Structure 1
């Protein structure tokens, strides 16, 4: 059987449960943050000597890229994310369900992307709440969706180094 003949039951699409889990957890955490924390860096909650919880808005993309623009970037990033989600779902459809590594990576990226798209469409911005720092140097705030996207992307990069026999 070649990859294009995979049934839905045997394709990687079955791994979309992980994308749904990432999405639900991301939105739930964001709702808790929005409903229980005051907005802004001055209201951060110190958790560890290198980590704070806070509630901030990101109108741009990674590292607040294009956040100072007039609003058009909201729809650009939404369109890009939806295009990537459709492409990854297409690839999952062509993967066997047994290819756990790739399907898990695709699902994590999809779940994170949909979580951030939800924020952009509903709120007009992405809710960020994780603040890691060293001394006075802070990493840009991020959220669970961003983390899932980064972990999924790292998994795909690592997958590129695995031998075909290992796959």
Structure 2
């Protein structure tokens, strides 16, 4: 099951980076990512809420909604795995679920999500996120593209 492997590898990669960030002193941040030419800064942020800290005062809600969403995505993937084809959809859901699993682990075990990098470009300078977030957005973006292509072909 290559898709289960993708989920595991992506989640493990993000959790490994989060662990490395957590082991460093708070005073070491922010700092430039080596070889990025100043385009990526590393941070050590703890986000107890949703994106941008929304609902941080409602920890049960912040844990249960992502759990429900990840379960739904996992269910969709499980249904797709029983069918032939739809490789792009399976891959997109696996990528999104890899990021979701990593962030869900943080929410349930640490009670906050570790965010650790910011791209120094335009309004992105103000946003600190992690690879799990990137994987979620990438998977969702791929699903949107897949559906747009499918709709275009059906016309």
TM-score by length of 2: 0.81
Q: 2:88 is matched with which residue?
A: 101
Q: 2:104 is matched with which residue?
A: 117
The RMSD of aligned alpha carbons is: 2.6
The structure richer in helix per residue is: 2
1:64-101 Cα deviation digits (max 9, x unpaired): 2212x1422333234323433432333332442x4321
- Stretches of structure 1 lacking an aligned partner (at least 5 in a row): 1-12
Residue aligned with 2:67, SS:
helix
Q: Distance in 2 between matches of 1:159 and 1:78?
A: 23
Q: Distance in 2 between matches of 1:35 and 1:49?
A: 23
Misfit runs of 4+, over 6 Å: none
Q: 2:55 is matched with which residue?
A: 66
- Residues 101 and 44 (structure 1 numbering): CA distance in 2 closer, same or farther, change over 3 Å? same
Q: 1:8 is matched with which residue?
A: none
Q: CA deviation at 1:44?
A: 0.2
- Stretches of structure 2 lacking an aligned partner (at least 5 in a row): none
Q: Which has the larger radius of gyration?
A: 1
Q: 1:44 is matched with which residue?
A: 30
Contact 1:131–1:138, Cα closer than 8 Å, also in 2: yes
Q: 1:150 is matched with which residue?
A: 137
Q: CA deviation at 1:22?
A: 0.4
- Residues 153 and 95 (structure 1 numbering): CA distance in 2 closer, same or farther, change over 3 Å? farther
TM-score by length of 1: 0.76
